[in-house]
Structure 1
Amino acid sequence: MAPKTDKKTIKLKQIGSPIRRPEKQKQMLVGLGLGKMHRVVELEDTPEVRGAIAKLPHMVAVVD
């Protein structure tokens, strides 16, 4: 069994629709594992994920 690591995670919820959004924003949602309204995913807290969240503040929310 692999050793357990203490990697931080972040939960995201999609709050905005990808309809009538630029293709780049739709691709970012798919890259985050989202795409349908109210879907929640748990991702590793990395600078890349934080950057995607910063570009989509109107479509995703951080959930506690």
Structure 2
Amino acid sequence: MTISLQRISRKNKRFGHSLVTDSPHGILRLFCFFVLEIYKRSKKNDIERQKEEFNQSGG
């Protein structure tokens, strides 16, 4: 009984470890990429909006 439990916990540890090392890193990279894309787009939109306002004001 104890041996099988130890085996299971060891498997779970290995699986948990790979989950911890792979998954959050991937999620973090995805999150950073997502934030950067949103930031770039909002910047682009701000610049285009400023251009439009500038053109409308007769500049």
Q: What range is the shorter-chain TM-score in?
A: under 0.3
Judging by fraction of residues, say which structure has more helix. Answer: 2
Judging by fraction of residues, say which structure has more strand. Answer: 1
TM-score, normalised to structure 1's length? 0.20
TM-score, normalised to structure 2's length? 0.20
Which structure is larger by alpha-carbon Rg, 1 or 2?
2
